[in-house]
Structure 1
Amino acid sequence: MKLIFAGTPVFAAAALQALLDAGHDIALVLTQPDRPAGRGMKLKPSPVKELALQHGLRVEQPLTLKTPEAQALVAEVGAEVMVVAAYGLLLPKAVLDMPARGCLNIHASLLPRWRGAAPIQRAILAGDAKTGITIMQMDVGLDTGDMLSIHPLPITADDSAASLHDKLAVLGADAIVATLAQLDACTPQPQPEEGVTYAAKLSKDEARIDWTQPAADIARAIRAYNPAPGAHTLLGGEALKLWQAHAVAGTAPAGEVLRADADGVVVGTGSGLLVLTRLQAAGGKRLAAREFVAGRSALAGTRLGA
């Protein structure tokens, strides 16, 4: 099938590779412009661009798809379908209507739950038992289009946003290939009107830990904000990032370190205790609790967040 592919990050690159492996004709790849990255802030291509160039595909990087010039890039291809995965640009109606069979989006949630920018993280934060991939026929709304296929995935107690992202990237890649193979038999289903939630973009401020919250909620937040923006607090007035933790029974004042040993840094919360097992001090590396505690002999009795 002759396709246009629009995507930017690793999540999208997994889908592009799967479409290539399935033998589809990728006539054009759209991706975000190169961005500064690394210590030298040199321009770095997106994972999708890197993969596309490896396969000799045509790549275009418009700043917007609202201009006549950008829309001409899409129109001249004469694609049957545009596949969109975490592209990062809005598709105006003119572009949505250009491919003969429309634009299909690989969305990382079970719609209509978690429409929007951060569905993986919001599902973990909310304590959802499952998430998944929805292949959706795109329209002008925010993730409001008809559903072509739904692919559930359990969320385990150990899943971070990073691990869940990787599982969903594989699932999304498989799902779009399967959906395109059965496209003639697919019956678009309108999304239910009930159960709509919105996955707002993450901010660094919201990843600051509030120790008055229950330990179980904080543990979920640490998983949800891993790898970005990274759950964080203060230790002795300096930033401390938290990468892994679990809740246990017990009581201690919110934010107070009850004890610190090789098994973890145990901190009081609004309800229960939180055992921090992987931490990162300002300017340091991520360390297991055993290594972190070894260089800090007087943690017990200190207060985090102050």
Structure 2
Amino acid sequence: MKLAFAGTPSFAATILRGLLGSEHEVGLVISQPDRPRGRGRKVTRSPVAELATEAGLSLAQPARIGEAAGEISAHDALVVAAYGQILRADTIYAAPSGPGTSTPPCSPATAAPPYRARHHGGEGETGVSLMRMDEGLDTGPFALQLRTPIPPDMTGGELTAALAELGAKAVVEGMSSLAKKMLTLTEQDNDLATYAPKLGDEERVIRWGEPVERVHDRVRALTPHIGARAYHPDLSGPIKVLRARISEKNVRRGVPGTILPAKEHILVACGEGVLEVLELQAPGSKMLSAPDFLRGRRLEGTFSS
């Protein structure tokens, strides 16, 4: 099939790369315009735009995707993956075979990205769905779903990468079925849909009074791109806890947030259990392992709860 592809971040670039290695032809790539990014606010292309340029593909970067509807109509189907705009009807139905989109998770949930909320909640499984878009928000019928477990120590970054690879597989399989007119669609039960809200600032702060399993889920879900925050009275800003594990060490616990005595280890009492902090970043510093962090400073007392 001759496809138009719309996407922006690294997640979408992985899916585009999967299509480029398949039997399908990508005739047009649409991505968000170049924008200032990072601390230096340097104008930068999106990962999808970078890949399209490297691969010598036709690239469009309109302010609104509807401006590319005419170009999309020259293709058999439109694949959308994390593009970053809500599509209007004239764009959704521009291609003869209609659009499909690869989006986690497997069950009806709307947000960006809903799989992080699943991870944050300690769920053991997630996945991707290929659906035919309609004018609602993730309300179209499913074409296929692929699932993957969430191992107990997997970080948010690792899960995102795994889901991107799974999404690429789903899109390639789905487009092959569409080309053969064998794509089966299943309507969603929108009454079962849940809303997965964006994680606000309060959700980034570790709540030491929670059970250690819940604290650990928060840390790994927010690593590495956001980082779970912890506040200590001796520091001017938040510490980012970037990797941790549930401690099996037999130590006497204090009130939640208490830093427990342990040579070359950072152990913190939780509402139930003890968390061992493995990697962290102090304000204005780089990420360090716990032993390296402790060589440069002492960390005693209690984190704010």
2:153 and 2:245 in contact (8 A); partners too: no
Deviation at 1:27, TM superposition (A): 1.9
> Is the 1:203–1:229 Cα contact (8 Å) retained in structure 2?
no
Letter in 2 for 1:256: T
TM-score, scaled relative to structure 1: 0.92
> 2:134 matched to 1:133?
no
Q: Does the 8 Å contact 2:11/2:82 carry over to 1?
A: yes
Paired position in structure 2 for 1:174 = 169
Alpha-carbon separation, structure 2, partners of 1:247 and 1:10: 30
Between the aligned partners of 1:24 and 1:4, the Cα distance in structure 2 is 11
Deviations 1:164-214 (A, max 9, x none): 111111111111111111222121001234542222223333201122222
Counterpart in the other structure of 2:258: 256
What is the SS of the residue equivalent to 1:261?
Answer: coil
- Confirm whether residue 158 of structure 1 aligns to residue 153 of structure 2: yes
- CA RMSD in angstroms comes to 1.8
The alpha-carbon deviation at position 229 of structure 1 amounts to 1.9
Aligned counterpart, 1:58:
58
- Show the 5 A alignment for 1:199-278: 199-235=196-232, 236-238=234-236, 239-248=238-247, 251-262=253-264, 264-278=265-279
Give 1:1-306 correspondences, 5 Å limit: 1-66=1-66, 69-75=67-73, 78-112=74-108, 114-183=109-178, 184-193=181-190, 195-235=192-232, 236-238=234-236, 239-248=238-247, 251-262=253-264, 264-297=265-298, 299-300=299-300, 302-305=301-304
1:261 to 1:196, Cα distance in 2 relative to 1, 3 A: farther
Name the SS of the counterpart of 2:72 in structure 1.
helix
Distance 2:272 2:192 in 1: 29
Unmatched segments (≥5 aa) in structure 2: none
**How far, CA to CA, are the matches of 1:34 and 1:129 in structure 2?**
37
Give the drift of 1:52.
Answer: 0.3
Report the secondary structure of 2:164's partner residue: helix
Identity of aligned residues (%): 36
For 1:138-176, what per-residue CA distance to the aligned partner results, in whole angstroms no more than 9, with x for missing partners?
111111110001101000001111001111111111111
**Alpha-carbon deviation of 1:115?**
2.4
> Where in structure 1 are there 5+ consecutive unaligned residues?
none
**Offset at residue 39 of structure 1 (A):** 4.3
CA–CA distance in structure 1, aligned partners of residues 23 and 53 of structure 2: 17
CA distance in 1, matches of 2:283, 2:262: 18
SS, match of residue 261 in structure 2: strand
